[in-house]
């Protein structure tokens, strides 16, 4: 790992390439970096103190909130509010978007996030992640944020990324100019540039899908799964099946090694399970910036979907371009 460049230094360097940059986005990233460190510290204590398990409440989507979901939400929210660059947030753990009052009302950005994705994995020591998505506000400065600030299509994202709390902790992000990954060195308390200019293989041999839902899947997805399992030397099949059940971790692995992640429609999840604004848009932005592809259905780019409501779900197919195109073929048949 390169110890020569920290995330802070990298951000300042990138900012200096834009003479008109105000530093607001850099400051926003400092908030994310700080909250990530705090959440990372707490996750590493899971099992030692009373922070695992259900908090006893449900979020607006009827899902059990874990204690760490609430903890991560609070930490990211307060870090983002502290610097005045962000005028409001929307979170998978909040019923409605949150308007930041006071100085923050002049902030240029809104942030949408899933503060702790895959949190049901925490109790069993499996990797989880934070996913974030940053937009420029469209409402007037100095006024409270509005629906329109949050319901922008993913192609309007200014930046997006995730933190993966895995065997090491990493922060991976894009501002639309490629993807870079930083690994956290806990002894120094800094994220160091370890994965510059991340690109994903055009093709791969890993498929990631919850096969327990097989009977509920559309015919095209069933056929694609069978295709993955067939023997064919020329196309390196059968492929390898890998599914952690933690989107950030499954995506991160496939990004590096080449592969595909699917959470399709099914009879049990008619709109898919994953949230367009907090999960699919930021991951799709990263995937495309790394040379991959993300669609909701054949020909329907995730980033071009116009959101209708905050907690909207969408089917999600993301990964190596050739693999995504293959699924599109099966689904279009
Ligand atoms: P969450 O936001 O409630 O944690 O749910 C999202 C998670 C993803 O991380 C993961 O890919 C998916 O749900 C797994 O769902 P399933 O258990 O249905 O396969
Ligand atoms: Mg989630």
* CA triple 131-136-140, angle to 5 deg: 135
In the DSSP assignment, the letter for residue 115 is E
- Higher pLDDT, residue 124 or 231: 231
The overall pTM is greater than 0.85: yes
Instruction: Please tell me if the CB atom of residue 94 comes closer than 6 angstroms to any atom of ligand 1.
Output: no
Q: Which CATH class is domain 7-195?
A: alpha beta
Q: Which structure tokens are listed for 88?
A: 């409001």
pLDDT surpasses 50 at 2: no
- Per-residue pLDDT band at 4 (split at 50, 70, 90): confident
Read off the pLDDT of residues 253-288 as tens digits, 9 standing for 90 and up: 999 999 999 999 998 899 999 999 999 999 999 999
Q: Pick the ligand that lies closest to the CA of residue 248.
A: 1
Within 13 Å, how many C-alpha atoms sit on residue 77's CB side?
20
User: Domain 206-332: which topology?
Assistant: D-Maltodextrin-Binding Protein; domain 2 (3.40.190)
Instruction: Please tell me if the CB atom of residue 53 comes closer than 6 angstroms to any atom of ligand 1.
Output: no
Which of the listed residues 244, 245, 314 should we mutate to test ligand 1's pocket, taking the one with most ligand atoms within 8 A of CB? Answer: 245
CA 102 to chain centre: 29
Instruction: Please tell me if the CB atom of residue 119 comes closer than 6 angstroms to any atom of ligand 1.
Output: yes
Q: Can you give the residue ranges of every domain in the chain?
A: 7-195, 206-332
Instruction: Please tell me if the CB atom of residue 122 comes closer than 6 angstroms to any atom of ligand 1.
Output: no
The pLDDT value recorded for residue 52 is 62
User: How close is the Cα of 274 to the center of ligand 1, in Å?
Assistant: 7
Residue 18: CB partners within 8 Å, gap ≥ 6? none
Looking at the CA of residue 248, tell me the nearest atom of ligand 1. 9
């Amino acid at each position: 790992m390169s110890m020569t460049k920290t995330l802070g230094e990298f951000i300042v360097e990138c900012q200096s390439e834009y003479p008109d940059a105000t530093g607001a986005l850099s400051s926003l990233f400092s908030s994310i970096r700080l909250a990530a460190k705090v959440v990372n510290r707490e996750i590493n204590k899971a099992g030692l103190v009373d922070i695992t398990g259900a908090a006893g409440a449900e979020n607006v989507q009827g899902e059990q909130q874990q204690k760490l979901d609430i903890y991560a939400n609070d930490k990211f929210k307060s870090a983002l509010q502290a610097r005045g660059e962000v005028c409001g947030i929307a979170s998978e753990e909040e019923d409605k978007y949150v308007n930041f009052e006071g100085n923050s009302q002049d902030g240029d950005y809104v942030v949408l996030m899933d503060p702790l994705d895959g949190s049901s994995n925490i109790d069993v020591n499996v990797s989880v992640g934070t996913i974030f998505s940053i937009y420029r506000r469209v409402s007037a400065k100095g006024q409270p944020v509005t629906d329109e600030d949050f319901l922008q299509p993913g192609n309007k994202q200014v930046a997006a990324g995730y933190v993966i709390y895995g065997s090491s902790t990493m922060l991976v992000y894009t501002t639309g100019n490629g993807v870079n990954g930083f690994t956290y060195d806990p002894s120094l308390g800094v994220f160091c540039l370890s994965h510059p200019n991340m690109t994903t293989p055009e093709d791969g041999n890993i498929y990631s899908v919850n096969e327990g839902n097989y009977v509920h899947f559309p015919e095209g997805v069933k056929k694609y799964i069978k295709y993955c399992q067939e023997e064919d030397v020329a196309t390196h099949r059968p492929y390898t099946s890998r599914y952690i059940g933690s989107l950030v971790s499954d995506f991160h692995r496939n990004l590096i090694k080449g592969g595909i992640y699917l959470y399709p429609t099914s009879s049990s999840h008619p709109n898919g399970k994953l949230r367009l604004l907090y999960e699919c848009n930021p991951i799709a932005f990263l995937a495309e910036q790394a040379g991959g592809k993300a669609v909701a259905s054949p020909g329907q780019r995730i980033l071009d979907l116009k959101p209708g409501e905050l907690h909207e779900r969408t089917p999600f197919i993301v990964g190596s371009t050739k693999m995504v195109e293959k699924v599109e073929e099966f689904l279009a048949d």
